[in-house]
Amino acid sequence: MSFNSLQYLVFLPLTVLIFHRLSNKYKPYFLLIVSYLFYLCTHILSPFILLFTTIGGYFFAIKISETISEKDKKSLLFTGILLNIIILLSCREIFKSLIPAIGVSFFTFQNISYLIDCYLGIIQPERNFLYYALYLSFFPKLIQGPIERASNLIPQLKHMKNTICEYETLRGGVQLFFWGMFKKIFIADNIAPVITSILNDINGTSGPVLLIITYLYAIQIYCDFSGYTDMSLGSARLFGINLTNNFNYPYFSPSTQDFWRRWHITLSGWILDYIFKPLSMKGRNYGNYGVITALIITFVICGIWHGLTLNYICWGLYHGILISLSFLTYKKWEKFCKKYKINQGIIYIINVFITFNLVCFSWLFFMTKTLSDVWLILSKNITTLLNFLAIHSFDTGISTCFIIVIAIFFFIEVLQAKFNIKAYFERQNVFIRWAGYYIMIMVIILWGNYGSKETLEFMYFRF
């Protein structure tokens, strides 16, 4: 059941209504049942995989905390992590045609972080199976994240408040959900068929068009994934649960290091804590060489997480090299700018421009299926830039009105990064607010893309 489906638009309000009619005692049980029913809609075997993962994580964590011998603790931790990796690889690569368990990487990552945190003594294992099961299965974040830490989510599940009277919370959740739907259905899904049709004939497509779709794809993947995140956070807020935000205006990052603090924040935090830090500790005696090696290995693993193909591995290697270069040069660049008294605003714009273009290039590895396609698009893009072709001399299939809407959307993103537009909008009178709501809903209904499953499926479902 996808967030942008009619079924979910019936399922969510019905679930919220029943939830708020129940006493606090029964709310966790109800959410656990509906979460498993929600997951059942993806595949008949999916709930069993989730349950098996949950049981394993629950008992391994308790056993780790009760074991005195450090050697035995490490053995239990290793076995628990290995079990999750086997589940992940089985569902993602080995038996994916038989068991297409969408979202398996997200709840296995949660399980792994939980086991490590219990081993390190950061948290105590949850003894109540109900809350641990709900921690892994809570449906707003089950399919595509955020990758929640137990220390953030489990306490909230244990202290659910009756939010039916908290109008501001409910309104904020609905607003966030429909903003995410707008990004997904109107922007991302209207770009998707254009890119798909062009990618079917890369050789026959001109360089200028390929250059434009390189940037359009960057907009698509951002609106698709951040749109899902907004819908996820909005859904959770209707139950009084605050999930971790996954995006913080990543395309305005002044460095690739900063980009990874802003893009897919929960995954970035996960790989930082559970992959990069242990690797960098191993190589701490080798100075910058140790840090760079740890960074490259970490991002190659991140690429493999997205898929066992050469494109994803090269994408990870590319980002590993980029962030290593940023790590080595960023402070020197800042010192250079201070020495020659270069305006800080100009420096920021230059840094953002460079970072944005480097990131846009990296999405070519996602957009295409082979490295030869990446090279073909890149070579045509370079030729286009060198020839200084005028933008009006080619047609991408995207209407001028739609380009204007995208420009307005990113203008709002820029303003929101500096000013709280949402709070300003909520201070307006009821007629202005509801006029805005109705316009948003009508745009989604009238101009949203409701085409094939291939173009409408959330992009990160494949991961």
DSSP string, 214-255: HHHHHHHHHHHHHHHHHHHHHHHHTTT--PPP--S-GGG-SS
Indicate whether 260 belongs to any domain: yes
- Quick one: which of 191, 308, 323, 216 has its CA closest to 260? 323
Indicate whether 412 belongs to any domain: yes
pLDDT of residue 308: 83
What is the per-residue DSSP string for 191-212? HHHHHHHHHTTSTTS-HHHHHH
Given a contact cutoff of 8 angstroms between Cβ atoms, the answer to whether 46 and 101 are in contact is yes
Q: Which of 101, 135, 160 is the last residue of a domain?
A: 160
Do 185 and 65 belong to one domain? no
Positive/negative CA dihedral, 147, 109, 139, 103: positive
Query: Structure pTM?
Result: 0.83
pLDDT of residue 336: 79
What is the residue range of 341's domain?
168-462
How far are the Cα atoms of 64, 72, 223, 226, 259 from residue 263, in angstroms, in the given order? 33, 37, 12, 9, 6
Do 114 and 187 belong to one domain? no
Q: Which of 138, 160, 182 is the last residue of a domain?
A: 160
Given a contact cutoff of 8 angstroms between Cβ atoms, the answer to whether 111 and 84 are in contact is yes
Do 213 and 286 belong to one domain? yes
The CA distance from 319 to 257, in Å, is 10
167-181 and 207-237 helices, crossing angle to 10°: 160
SS3 readout for 17-41? HHHHHCCCCCHHHHHHHHHHHHHHC
Q: What total number of domains does the chain contain?
A: 2
What are residue 124's phi and psi, to 5 degrees?
-95, 145
Indicate whether 187 belongs to any domain: yes
Q: Which helix (H) or strand (E) holds 122?
A: none
The CA distance from 461 to 463, in Å, is 5
Q: Which of 132, 160, 188 is the last residue of a domain?
A: 160
Indicate whether 347 belongs to any domain: yes
**Could you report the per-residue pLDDT of 365-403, keeping only the tens digit for each?**
999 989 999 999 998 888 877 765 444 445 556 666 666
Do 418 and 434 belong to one domain? yes
The CA distance from 148 to 112, in Å, is 11
Q: Spell out a b/e string for 196-209, using b for 16 or more CB atoms within 10 Å of the CB, else e.
A: eebbeeeeebbbbb
Indicate whether 4 belongs to any domain: no
Do 136 and 187 belong to one domain? no
- Residues (pLDDT < 50) of the chain are 163, 389-393
pLDDT of residue 392: 47
Indicate whether 257 belongs to any domain: yes
pLDDT of residue 259: 95
